[in-house]
Amino acid sequence: MTDTGMLRFHVPEPEVRPGGAPDFSNVPIPRAGSVPRPEIDVDPREIRDLAFSIIRVLNRAGEAVGPWAGLLSDEELLEGLRHMMTLRAFDARMQMAQRQGKTSFYMQHLGEEAVSCAFRKALAPGDMNFPTYRQAGLLIAGGYPMVTMMNQIYSNEADPLKGRQLPIMYSSKEHGFFSISGNLATQYIQAVGWAMASAISGDNRIAVGWIGDGSTAESDFHAALVFASTYKAPVVLNVVNNQWAISTFQGIARGGSGTFAARGLGFGIPALRVDGNDYLAVHAVAKWAIERARRNLGPTLIEHVTYRAGAHSTSDDPSAYRPKAESDAWPLGDPVIRLKNHLIRLGVWSEERHAQAEAEILDTVIAAQKQAEEHGTLHSGNKPSTRDMFEGVYEQMPPHLRRQRQQAGV
């Protein structure tokens, strides 16, 4: 029968609100190793189902199984574990530093460490990321100095960005980390443009775009897919689906498409979903997509299925909008523990060595923090000069800025 009642529209609701029992029964989790690995030059039409599955390598027993396994040596896996543990320790210290008033703001990666750490190891020198604020693993795994990151967080006299960016909005051309934009999604279309420019100039460096689930609702996301697909730009487009966009659950931005990866299908872009808490799976899928881009086979959309275990930022309290125990109920587990268990299973790691590494890493992070604090924190030490605020954007300063600088007396 036709509904002839009053018109209405639909507002999606999360399965559960604070006080309720966490429920992820609507998230189907395929067995590790069960999703095939297509040839690099596969016709996107043949792999449409990969936009609705989840590529996984590590099983519950900590074994690496299936066609996406076997790319990394024990040494590389141990290094990967160290990177994720370093990022976690770095986050914990900087979170505390914010509570101590040493910086105004911080954003953690808790639960999402595998995504950026593993992806970074699949890139080549010179490739350029267009990240958001939750991919510091790209820097940590790329060997960028923690002290420099902390100087930026503290906006101190050694901050390479001279206090002009919000804390954690790093920038490093040398490390393939484009300046982070606080205006979400603008970086996605920039990544496609950079990739096209790289091709125009006959280069072999590819670009990588990063975006959160919530930010895919921005029109820049869709414009980026139009340009990437039409021009088959050498770019990898990542969507980090950590289930939340501050207090908004992922169902709002996803709408009726079933998955975020499925957004790529209408554009003819190959789209894969990967277990974002599985270091080996993220790395294997990243390699696949990066090779496609490098071989002029065009863009790939990757949805990293993960969970933001911490607060959105130091200005957020998740207990206001989701059950406290939701992160414990997340079916894909913790990326650090899963890789640790795999390495123990391989016989190259142990609980004792893990505890020892944790202590060593904490010492290294604290040493870096001491060094950074010698250059000052938010409320101590020397600051970058006010004059710096006017520099670094225009080659020739426009008259209105010159006037403002004079008014500021610097």
Q: Which residues contact ligand TPP (rule: CB under 6 A)?
A: 134, 182-184, 212-215, 218, 240, 242, 244-246, 308, 312
CB 168 within 8 Å of CB 162: no
Give the Cα separation of 201 and 215 in Å (integer): 30
What three-state secondary structure class fits 233? coil
What three-state secondary structure class fits 283? helix
Q: Which residue in the block uniquely carries the two structure tokens 């966009």? A: 245
Q: Which does 287 bind (CB under 5 to 8 A by kind): Mg ion, ligand TPP, none?
A: none
> Between residues 129 and 242, which has the closer beta carbon with respect to Mg ion?
242
Q: Which does 101 bind (CB under 5 to 8 A by kind): Mg ion, ligand TPP, none?
A: none
Q: Which does 183 bind (CB under 5 to 8 A by kind): Mg ion, ligand TPP, none?
A: ligand TPP
Q: How far is the CB of 91 from Mg ion (least distance, A)?
A: 16
208 beta partners: 129, 236
> How crowded is residue 95: how many other Cβ atoms within 10 Å of its Cβ?
19
Q: How far is the CB of 172 from ligand TPP (least distance, A)?
A: 20
Q: How far is the CB of 235 from ligand TPP (least distance, A)?
A: 19
> Between residues 213 and 278, which has the closer beta carbon with respect to ligand TPP?
213
- Restricting to residues 194-253, name those near Mg ion by CB under 5 A: 212-214, 242, 245
Evaluated on CA atoms 84, 360, 151, 90, the torsion sign reads: positive
Q: Which does 312 bind (CB under 5 to 8 A by kind): Mg ion, ligand TPP, none?
A: ligand TPP
Q: Token pair for residue 345? A: 């299973």
Contact flag: residue 326 with Mg ion (CB under 5 A): no
Torsion of Cα atoms, 213 then 215 then 216 then 222, to 10°:
-160
Q: How far is the CB of 362 from ligand TPP (least distance, A)?
A: 25
Please enumerate in sequence order all residues whose Cβ is within 8 A of that of 395, keeping only pairs 6 or more positions apart, or say none.
Answer: none
Q: How far is the CB of 188 from ligand TPP (least distance, A)?
A: 11
305 beta partners: 241, 275
> Between residues 243 and 377, which has the closer beta carbon with respect to ligand TPP?
243
List residues binding Mg ion (CB under 5 A).
Answer: 212-214, 242, 245
